[in-house]
Amino acid sequence: MNDANATVFLVDDDSAVRDALTLMFEQEGFAIKAFDSADAFLAAYQPENFGCAIIDIRMPGMDGLQLQEALNKLNIMLPIIFLTGHGDIPKSVKAIKAGAVDFLTKPVTREKLMASVQAAIQESAKKLSENSHHQDALSHLNSLTSRERDVMMLAILGQPNKEIARRLGISHRTVEIHKSKIMHKTGAVNLLDLVRIAHESGITF
């Protein structure tokens, strides 16, 4: 069972491998786009693309590990499966440490490859969801004024209104007004929800 919105991106300089895997994935109902080089893939890639990438290690020009490094630098959250006839332990360790979801050596069974792709696509969906939550939380917090952010930070650290007022040199009533505006702007239903939003935006406390 595959995700109808997911695309498998295949990067391999061997045309026979590209043709065989393209046919295989089409038979399984996947959308697949094949590229003969890392540069061709990078030139065509769009940030909204969802799915996974199957990448060969040894290719002319930019090799698979260099492509992985480039994707990481560009903050492209596309799960990578390495599929290669030239695998070794050091390469596989390096690839996995850099975030690859799997490292397979040719020949690989259809079942094993499909299972790996399904896991990678689930990982892609998870990352997209987390990134969406992060962006939503960030936009909510960016709407706060500087003073509202000060009040929010003290509130999520568990400070009572009286202590917040004392620390910021404002009245107890003003703290309450700021808190009301914070909850409205962020959409938080309670303090615990506000903590979650702040955490999702990347704020550490």
Beta carbons within 8 Å of 171's beta carbon, 6+ residues apart = 165
Strand ordering across the sheet containing 102-105: 31-35, 7-11, 51-55, 80-84, 102-105
Please give the single-letter amino acid code of residue 135. Answer: Q
pLDDT score for 136? 72
Topology of domain 143-200 in CATH is Arc Repressor Mutant, subunit A (1.10.10)
Q: Is the pTM of this model over 0.85?
A: no
Reading the block at residue 14, the tokens are 């061997």
Domain ranges of the chain: 7-133, 143-200
pLDDT score for 1? 44
Can you tell me the distance from the alpha carbon of 11 to that of 35, in angstroms, rounded to the nearest whole number?
A: 5
Asked if residue 13 lies in contact with residue 36, where contact means CB atoms within 8 angstroms, the answer is yes
Segments in the chain forming alpha helices (H): 15-27, 38-44, 64-73, 89-97, 110-142, 146-156, 161-168, 172-186, 191-200
Can you tell me the distance from the alpha carbon of 192 to that of 99, in angstroms, rounded to the nearest whole number?
A: 32
pLDDT in tens, the chain (205 residues): 455 578 999 999 999 999 999 999 999 999 999 999 999 999 998 877 788 999 999 999 999 999 999 999 988 888 999 998 877 788 898 998 888 999 998 889 999 999 999 999 888 777 766 666 667 767 778 889 999 999 999 999 999 999 999 999 999 999 999 999 999 888 888 888 888 888 877 776 6
- Report CA torsion sign: 108, 112, 114, 117: negative
pLDDT score for 150? 94
Exposed/middle/buried for residue 164 (C-beta within 10 Å: 0-12, 13-18, 19+): buried
Name which of 100, 120, 147 is nearest 30 in CA terms: 120
CATH architecture of structural domain 7-133:
3-Layer(aba) Sandwich (3.40)
CA distances from 35 to 59, 139, 162, 192 (A): 11, 36, 62, 47
Same fold, 7-133 and 143-200: no
